Amino acid sequence: MRAAFILLASSLAGAGTTGCSDAARTPIAAPEAAAPVAETLQLSNPLILQRADAQIVHHSDGSYVFAATVPEYDRIELRRADTLPGLRHAPGVVVWKRHTSGVMAAHIWAPEIHFIDGRWYIYFAAGSSTDVWAIRIYVLENASANPLDGTWTEKGQLVTNFESFALDATTFEHAGTRYLVWAQSDPSFANNSSLFIGKMANPWTLAAPGVRLSRPEFEWETRGFRVNEGPAVLVRHGRVFITYSASATDANYCMGLLTASDSSDLLNPDSWSKSTTPVFTSSGSVFGPGHNQFTTSAAGTIDLLVYHGRDYRDIIGDPLDDPNRHTRIQPFTWNADGTPNFGAPVANGPLVIETPAG
């Protein structure tokens, strides 16, 4: 089961919020003490220090593969472990380094790894040596069973709607169709990035130009910068959910939610509804939570939110120059209406999650 669990932590982050507007909070009630336990997961936050834009893939062989942005913005590292806690001390393996000149030479950001049709693919963003802000999306491919082995081949730029700032690509398959969701600056209006979705011809090519799903419009999406970025897809309860991150990458950073019926045309913007308030915000001792992804416990009974956050609010200089966005992880639950409830960021320290049997 996924809907109920016992959360035992050294402390929660607290009920007070900072940054974006308050999201709904549902307290987690402990079941009867005598209830048998189906699965126990022992974690600690932060899970991994100085790794932003984190993603954890629970592969079909049972292993966990971790990808994230390194603070030097100069390479792509992966970790692999048999357990989620094992990722904490697993060695980082450099699988690709930035070019010394030309494209893919600067700002190596937000690598995401996906296993598609028997091959591994990494989607990442990069600038060029002549313009570090000419950020575009690129793809790597590896045929090895273990993504930390083998050779990663550059498949080139993933061409999107415009030749403009583009990043944070993720992909998913639904009802026999593979989709790409990404963030890109739309030149038709003032924005840093908006969210797009498109059908894929293969893992590195769009079949047609995508359509815009969301633009930064609410106050909580436009603090510091006008940003919708970092999409992550969750399909459950007859719906397709896309979480995303909004505003500047400081304490204002927070998460929004898009929702569509899983039987609707996902390429039709009218199929999607958008939360008017953020669903995950700065709270207590965790600031700027966002750029999330999802994973599960080994037995699949615990749904987990993977994201980054800082331990302090105030940043000296450009937030992008501050290396202390740490990878964090915590469970989330489901509301009675079938929508995800992410609660509030939990504080640093041990985190024990148990799901009751039955």
311 is catalytic: no
CA distances from 146 to 33, 81, 90, 204, 268 (A): 42, 11, 15, 20, 37
Residue tagged 């094992």 (tokens): 86
CA distances from 291 to 10, 36, 243, 306, 349 (A): 25, 35, 9, 8, 21
Show the 3-state SS of 192-253. Answer: CEEEEEEEEEECCEECCCCEEEECCCCHHHCCCCCEEEEEEEEEECCEEEEEEEECCCCCCC
DSSP state of 179: E
Active-site pick, 53, 77, 186, 221 = 53
Q: Cα angle at 163 between 293 and 270, to 5 degrees? A: 55
| Number of residues that this document lists for the chain | 358
How many CB atoms lie under 10 A from the CB of residue 200? 20
322 is catalytic: no
Residue tagged 């790894």 (tokens): 113
Active-site pick, 229, 250, 303, 322 = 229
Report the distance separating Cα 203 and Cα 127, nearest Å. Answer: 21
DSSP state of 346: B
Report the distance separating Cα 299 and Cα 357, nearest Å. Answer: 12
One-letter identity of residue 182: W
Report the distance separating Cα 314 and Cα 312, nearest Å. Answer: 6
How many CB atoms lie under 10 A from the CB of residue 24? 11
Query: What are the structure tokens assigned to 165, written together?
Result: 């700032």
Task: List, by residue number, the catalytic residues.
Answer: 53, 229
